[in-house]
A and B are shown apart, each in its own frame.
Chain A
């Protein structure tokens, strides 16, 4: 549970501080309010339980992604690390569902 998972930012909803992030083809909504730096589409972020905790500089992204590529490629459902990675991706809501929307609707 302390293994964050990197994904690529596709789109940003600045008003709600939510990014649409692509994790190996799965698009998710990741919250941006605790991220260390402003992100733009094309950046990578490190997602932990649905929150971006770091912007990954583009030049470091490839190296960061390699471990996850390997885990997900092997797709061993029993594997603890792979399960952690999948849980981290599942922690963020799907991007194609209706946005949780503005504050007054949510409360």
Chain B
């Protein structure tokens, strides 16, 4: 696919506006007092839209749009996976979202445990885990992943008198704190963030105001249409150029300043933020969502004694040492800079978590053409 083909895909929605936004991006990058300008988004769906619709072909050469830690499955840390695998191998039935199955733990993934006979069910919703628990007498552990948007659903189920044989092994994560960590990494030169529209539907755009104050970096909320992404980036560049960092909402049809207050109350009634490691990134203060004591009876970590030590007597394959998922999620490297990408590491045989999940940078780049950065191709007259 060449650049003009890629851009032609945008024609299904308002080509005039797309061209206008592309020209605006060009102008705004030219007006920046330095080059290149680097911005980060933190959402797998944004990366899917950017890669699928070939948007990087429409970006100016001096605009770098980097995907940060926007894949909840990818940042689920090894000890969290080990907990689920250890329980599964103990004979406890696990229900989890499909992408979690192949995320590597220390020595095994849940898929490995399942291949050895463990009982692991894939669900699309926590409500399906509830149904499993209602239909069966045995213990059901819901291994919960996802950012705040998904954690709200888990919370809704836990306040709704769930069955006694259901418990939640929470690997839920909260996005705003990790943005602070990435902003402070000396290696990243991020000048602004594009925040995910549907997560902000819950949290509201206001949740980023303190971040902007502290770090003097602008945040723009954007939707997932190709035009939404272009419009969000244009707004972000505008704010960067203005020298007055602030939060802007470029997705007002889904996001308000205060967000879904009712959902926020539910989220914080059930979960408390706590520090923990995000795979490959860092220890993130307040980045993990764990069940509050009031919900201890549904907390897998309180209900079971989890002994994962049997999984640790293991020498990791040398390939894992060369995996760059952490640097890629921190915006320091890209799949193109990883020696394993597309060679030893593929969706069929993933080495790192970023190649496992449909929201992982590597998986997305692999799907939509090794390196969906078409700037090297002469731009067509789209």
* Residue interface mask A67-88, B partner, CB < 8 A = 1: 1001000000011110110011
Distance, CA A99 to CA B358, complexed state (A): 32
Please name the residue on chain B nearest to A57 by beta carbon: B253
A31 within 8 A of B: yes
Spot the interface stretch: B31-39, B142-150, B205-213, B310-318. Answer: B142-150
Main secondary structure of the interface of B (DSSP, over half): helix
Distance, CA A92 to CA B123, complexed state (A): 11
Chain A neighbourhood of B150, CB < 8 A: 1-2, 48-49
* Residue interface mask B183-211, A partner, CB < 8 A = 1: 00000000000001011011000000000
Spot the interface stretch: B19-27, B87-95, B260-268, B332-340. Answer: B260-268
Contact indicator B201/A54 (Cβ below 8 Å):
yes
Contact indicator B156/A33 (Cβ below 8 Å):
yes
Contact indicator A34/B156 (Cβ below 8 Å):
yes
B2 within 8 A of A: no
Please name the residue on chain B nearest to A59 by beta carbon: B253
Distance, CA A101 to CA B13, complexed state (A): 43
Chain B neighbourhood of A51, CB < 8 A: 125, 152-153, 156
Please name the residue on chain B nearest to A105 by beta carbon: B134
Contact indicator B198/A3 (Cβ below 8 Å):
yes
Chain A neighbourhood of B45, CB < 8 A: 1-3, 81, 84
Contact indicator B125/A80 (Cβ below 8 Å):
no
A14 within 8 A of B: no
A15 within 8 A of B: no
Contact indicator B52/A79 (Cβ below 8 Å):
yes
B161 within 8 A of A: yes
CB distance from A105 to the nearest CB of B (A): 10
Q: List which A83-103 residues lie within 8 A (CB) of chain B.
A: 83-84, 87-88, 90-93, 100, 103
Spot the interface stretch: B239-247, B322-330, B359-367. Answer: B359-367
Contact indicator B225/A46 (Cβ below 8 Å):
no
Contact indicator B262/A81 (Cβ below 8 Å):
no
Please name the residue on chain A nearest to B162 by beta carbon: A107
Contact indicator B49/A81 (Cβ below 8 Å):
yes
CB distance from A5 to the nearest CB of B (A): 10
B254 within 8 A of A: yes
B interface with A by C-beta (< 8 Å):
12-13, 43-45, 48-49, 52, 70, 72-73, 97-99, 124-128, 131, 134, 146-147, 149-150, 152-153, 156, 160-161, 163, 196, 198-199, 201-202, 224-226, 253-254, 259-263, 266, 358-359, 363-364, 367
The 4 lowest CB-CB distance pairs between A and B, nearest first, are A91-B124, A50-B125, A60-B253, A91-B125
Instruction: Give me 29 A-to-B residue pairs in the complex whose CB atoms sit less than 8 angstroms apart, sorted by A's number.
Output: A1-B99, A2-B45, A2-B146, A2-B147, A2-B196, A3-B45, A4-B198, A31-B156, A33-B160, A33-B266, A34-B262, A35-B262, A36-B260, A36-B263, A49-B146, A49-B150, A50-B125, A53-B198, A56-B254, A63-B253, A67-B226, A70-B12, A80-B364, A81-B45, A81-B52, A91-B127, A91-B128, A92-B125, A107-B163
